[in-house]
Homo-oligomer: A and B are copies of this chain.
């Protein structure tokens, strides 16, 4: 076991990992209707013009615009109705000079027409005659062929997180399947002699395993597929077997590794034994989360998160979530949701260390205030009672009451 102690700032540790990560984005062809939230892997070009025919944007009459020139309330243009073009049907009407045909919003224009007069700007004289009260320009109230999108235009770019409107855009062109990144499977191993399953009653000295489930939920939120592997004791062989299984079944391996020195050493030893190049960062300069392991084992990212559930969640967001996004092919990972708030109390910190502090948000008279939750940061209910967190940057000794802060909302 080669142990080296290499404590890095979280962003550096992450950058080192992502640089060394081989491109292991796997493609998945899914029905467009199921693609919500998936990430595209290809630029897609249109093979059709949309619309495929000139469409009216109003209810009214297909006209030859020249026939309406100079029309006004006092001197309307009298035009002959020769029929209508029903919705969803090809136009079988050909307009001659002085003729119009009924048109519907979204429907086709009559042949020979180049504009639509809104029904509000016409008056019915008898069943075959209307007065047009205003002139229309050529192309008015019409969507032209290809005005929405043309053959060869980009429908959707690579790296796009598919939104409802993208599904609409693809289907409008008949593109019913789309190539997206397979959701990375994140294997989760929870370790510790003190752990019992959540549905059992812990004896003295025991606690229920929750990391398997908080990490599963975080993986799901990030767009990955959680793959709970096992809850194992602090035993080298048991942990090695679980890690090997996780690496073979998953694309990413996450250990919640216990915070005690012996437990940390055990995880480091297991990782060192399982592939090259092994552990990249042994510890990150962050509170909470110092005892974090970041490794690449035979091309797959592996993390040893602290055993404390709160620390594990914070470190997940810093290093595992961005890794899942990278494997999803996100070129623009979603920014965390933040709100501006005014700090109600001082937050002390230490320069040279990035701190995350839990806050409760209180809205009074439309003003958002952030109230630090000063319970011990390693208690799960300190987080459960909070609505978000404030980051004290590496170079600041603290934040003051009254300061405006960005609160990252959970």
Contact = CB atoms under 8 A, between A and B. Distances in A.
Interface of A: 32-33, 36, 50-53, 57, 59, 85-91, 104-108, 119, 143, 147-149, 155-156, 163-169, 171-174, 176, 192-195, 198-211, 213-218, 220-221, 233-234, 258-263, 307-310, 313, 335, 337, 339, 375-376, 378-384, 410
Given A165-B313, A167-B213, A337-B337, A204 B90 contact: yes
Contacts of A91: 204-205
Contacts of A193: 86-89
A91 B203 CA distance: 11
A309 B89 CA distance: 20
Contacts of A204: 52-53, 89-91, 108
- For the residues of A in contact with B, the DSSP-based class is loop
Contact of A260 (B59, B215, B216, B217): B59
A236 to B, nearest CB: 15
23 contacts: A32-B213, A33-B216, A50-B381, A52-B207, A53-B204, A87-B193, A87-B260, A88-B205, A90-B205, A91-B204, A108-B204, A143-B378, A143-B379, A148-B379, A164-B221, A165-B214, A165-B310, A167-B213, A168-B210, A168-B383, A172-B210, A172-B380, A174-B208
- 9 closest A-B pairs by beta carbon, nearest first, are A90-B204, A88-B194, A164-B217, A88-B193, A171-B198, A169-B384, A168-B214, A87-B193, A108-B205
A149 to B, nearest CB: 5
Contacts of A262: 59, 104
Contacts of A215: 164
A106 B380 contact: no
A169 B380 contact: yes
B380 A36 contact: no
Given A89-B205, A205-B107, A381 B169 contact: yes
B57 A376 contact: yes
Nearest to A173: B208
Q: Which of A176, A217, A378 has the most CB of B within 10 A?
A: A217
A207 B51 contact: yes
A106 B207 contact: yes
